[in-house]
Chain A
Amino acid sequence: MQKTRRTFLKYAGVSVLGLAAMPAVKAAASYVPHQVHEKPDPRELHAKRWAMVIDTRRLNSDEDMKPLIDACHKEHNVPKIDGPQEVKWLWTDTMHAVFPEQSGEFQHAELEHKNFLLLCNHCYNPPCVRVCPTKATFKLQNGITMMDMHRCIGCRFCMAACPYGARSFNFKNPRPFLDEAAQNPEYPTRMRGVVEKCTFCSERLEKGQKPACVEASKGALLFGDLADPNSEVRKALKENYSIVRKPGLGTQPSVYYII
């Protein structure tokens, strides 16, 4: 067959038509029966970017905060180790440690001597995820900064990268530091040589439950979707003055503090 400009243009036209039909073909293909063997739990709670708002006005003393910490640590089998080898998912610290940039020399007396609740900030722009060499820590679709214990090699780059001290290293086998009777048999422990942190209770969210600390907080912690302007957390942020930890670093934390 002779290759004239006319036949070339014909073929080109047909190819372009074919490309244009691609989405339709793909859509049709998804209706053809096929078997998927894994699916999400239908009870799962959905969000584009999970976030927490901590109403510090309602969390004043250690008695206010301890039940939340206990609920978290019991749920996730977090060992109780004192000293520098401590492992923590949810903890407290002082004004100057938590908000070093926001506090001047002299402070409101009440705030100055108050402890604040701390956890992983599930940053929008997380430095820990950038440095992890094995993708053991990564972002889930719903904004959670997740830990995959199966991939963690214990290099601790993420701990160096995290400006909030939200990560703990297991210097030793955590099992002896867990009360065996109080263990949660539904959740794993960790082993020596891995890093761990708060996961925003992704295992609970996927079964339709709010995080353990939120449930124990009697409304002092709000949990919701930061990407949804009508969510509980966005409403609370609209109506109250709030701050985040170390905003100057550009990590864009998803944990807000109402002062």
Chain B
Amino acid sequence: MYDGSKILAGLIVFLALVTFPFWNNFGAKEWKQPELKLPPKEVATQCIESKEYMREQHMKILDDWRDQVVREGKRIYIAKRDHKEYQMSLQNTCMKCHDDKEKFCDKCHTTASVSPYCWDCHIAPKAKGN
């Protein structure tokens, strides 16, 4: 006697548990690009670099900026795209255009499950609706 029926039942329960995430997600809504509140046209029509570059590289840009500013004493960024000059500053550059953190940075970060700790120190501006 090998308890065949018990083993079979066990296997079925095991398979059901292992594949549960797939069952559970059946019919769930697909991921959507969050809708971001972009700065109005009179404030700015473009970002520092191209939109695609910013999407992919903004964390790297910010990381470079803080080292350049704090450790190298360089405060001016020259854009790769049009050689325009910007102060390398999170509070005084990014957030001057993107001044509604909740409807811009946070919205994207929440959907992507990232929570940068920068705001423990850096002061987010009061939203003016940009």
Contact = CB atoms under 8 A, between A and B. Distances in A.
- Is chain B a partner of chain A in the same complex? yes
Interface stretch (B14-22, B23-31, B106-114, B120-128): B120-128
Q: Is the interface of B mostly helix, strand, loop or mixed?
A: mixed
A138 B72 CA distance: 11
A188 B75 contact: no
A146 interface: yes
A41 interface: yes
A140 to B, nearest CB: 6
Among B64, B72, B117, B120, chain A packs the most CB atoms within 10 A around the CB of B120
A141 interface: yes
Contacts of A202: 73
A156 interface: no
A239 interface: no
A222 to B, nearest CB: 22
Nearest to A144: B73
Contact of A39 (B71, B78, B92, B121): B78
B42 to A, nearest CB: 22
A148 B19 CA distance: 48
Interface string B54-72: 0000000000101010111
B68 A38 contact: yes
A37 B77 contact: yes
Nearest to B63: A150
Interface in A22-69: 35-41, 44
A41 B64 CA distance: 16
A190 B120 CA distance: 7
A140 B78 contact: no
A7 to B, nearest CB: 48
B75 A150 contact: no
B77 A183 contact: no
A207 interface: yes
A149 B121 contact: yes
A37 B74 CA distance: 10
B71 to A, nearest CB: 6
A185 B77 CA distance: 21
Given A38-B88, A189-B123, 6 more contacts: A39-B78, A138-B71, A185-B91, A186-B91, A188-B123, A206-B75
12 contacts: A37-B78, A38-B78, A39-B74, A40-B74, A40-B75, A40-B76, A41-B75, A142-B73, A183-B123, A185-B125, A189-B123, A207-B75
10 nearest interchain CB pairs?
A191-B120, A188-B121, A38-B74, A41-B75, A188-B122, A38-B68, A148-B70, A40-B74, A39-B76, A37-B78
